[in-house]
Structure 1
Amino acid sequence: MTAKRSAGLLLFRESPAAGTEVLLGHMGGPFWERRDGGAWSIPKGEYGPDETPRDAARREFTEEIGLPPPEGPYLPLGEVRMIGGKVVTIWAVRADLDPALAVPGTFTMEWPPKSGRIQEFPELDRVEWFAPPMARNKLVVSQIPFLERLLELVATEG
């Protein structure tokens, strides 16, 4: 059985006040609504064998943020295998974006469980910029290696 694969874009910018900042999305839906630490994610999503990881990352950015993906250059941050076995590939892109312009996509699920009621929820219910120390606290733990790789790249280029 082939592991599921996911790809995404980690936007970053330089702020005079905060230095490097990254754009993260708070995961939507009832499971995450009262959580903050470990409940934010890099915009990403699954893809199949007929799509390249980079194309999937761009498509998923649009689906999750509701805006076109920024143009490159795309800096590869590599892959990380998640606890459940999914392999995630992320690219960093230097860009600025106003989180107030985000129009996240939605998903449906039965809620409450076993109620027979299907409800729609945003994939991301908030999108915000964070400096690295705060981003480490907000990010899903398995995605922190991508933040660390980005910070290494930024440190070596500047």
Structure 2
Amino acid sequence: MSLEVGNKVEGKITGLAKFGAFIDLGNNKTGLVHISEVSDKFVEDINDELKVGQVVTVQILSIDDNGKIALSMRNREKEAEEKKEQPKPEYKKRETSNRRPSKPFNKKQSNNSQDFDSLMNDFLKESETRLSSLRKNTENKRGGRGGRRS
């Protein structure tokens, strides 16, 4: 059987790591089952779920350009069925008759007569004023730029 995304194949666990299990798929091909793909439930320690030498059925999730094969042991059909079975939530429409009209967020935004350049100039002036004030305050706390000379 060729290795294609979506296929289910049997393989033998050749190694375990904190992050997952290495599976020998035959034909000198090895894939990785990430710890999040081992079970439908949370797996804290992979050694509690799997053992080296164990034969498992895995689904091929992806094969990248470097030949790395991502595998899953989770029951993907069960997940798909659960998603289909879950009813979509029903949302009630709000009655808009009692709502107040929205106000502009910022008074400056409501004034469309100013163009971008004037807004940018105002911002730069204001920020320069704030920066100079901040510099003065920090210099006073440090004792000035030149320091005291006796």
Q: Same fold (TM over 0.5)?
A: no
Normalized per residue, the structure richer in strand is 1
Normalized per residue, the structure richer in helix is 2
Larger Rg: 2
Tell me: higher relative CO, structure 1 or 2? Use CA pairs within 8 A at least 6 residues apart: 1
TM-score w.r.t. structure 2 length? 0.24
